[in-house]
């Protein structure tokens, strides 16, 4: 502990307080204060602000990692999700996705994509 006339630095005091708090609080305490902080942050900034910082973070992340990195973490996330959820989970999210898709497109849209028969327009 660095001392200046027997006084703790702000960094040391913060660390000590954080350690004491973590001993006395549980997960729900941190979820609650995180939620409150997120709500306060959302009131202070616009949707565009969050889109901008998200885009900046995504671009920085893309510069730091290659395609294989993203394939690996995507696979890990998919496996973790599969390990934590059963068949009902996938049926539920599939149903929700299908409903959202149906609500956002008309019958003609589905007839047009059906006529393509799975052929890609951009030859992927």
Q: Does residue 44 register a pLDDT over 70? A: yes
DSSP string, 18-72: HHHHHHH--HHHHHHHHHHHHHHHHHHS-HHHHHHHHHHHHHHHHHH--HHHHHH
Q: Does residue 83 register a pLDDT over 60? A: yes
In this prediction the pTM is 0.46
Structure tokens belonging to residue 23: 């001993």
Q: What is the pLDDT of residue 33?
A: 96
Helix (H) or strand (E) holding 98: helix 87-104
Note whether 12 and 1 are within 8 A (CB): yes
| Per-residue pLDDT tens over the stretch 9-30 | 999 999 999 999 999 999 999 9
Matching residue, tokens 């960094």: 11
Mean pLDDT calculated for residue range 92-114? 93
Mean pLDDT calculated for residue range 99-122? 85
Q: How far apart are CA 54 and CA 42, in angstroms?
A: 14
């Amino acid at each position: 502990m660095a001392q200046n006339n027997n006084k703790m630095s702000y960094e040391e005091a913060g660390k000590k307080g954080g350690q004491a708090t973590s001993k006395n609080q549980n997960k729900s305490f941190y979820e609650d204060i995180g939620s409150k902080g997120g709500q306060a942050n959302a009131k202070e900034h616009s949707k565009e602000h969050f889109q901008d910082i998200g885009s900046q973070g995504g671009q920085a992340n893309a510069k730091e990692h290659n395609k294989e990195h993203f394939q690996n973490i995507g696979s890990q996330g998919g496996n973790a999700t599969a390990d934590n959820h059963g068949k009902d989970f996938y049926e539920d999210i599939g149903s929700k996705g299908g409903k959202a898709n149906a609500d956002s497109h008309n019958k003609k849209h589905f007839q047009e994509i059906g006529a393509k028969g799975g052929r890609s327009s951009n030859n992927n």
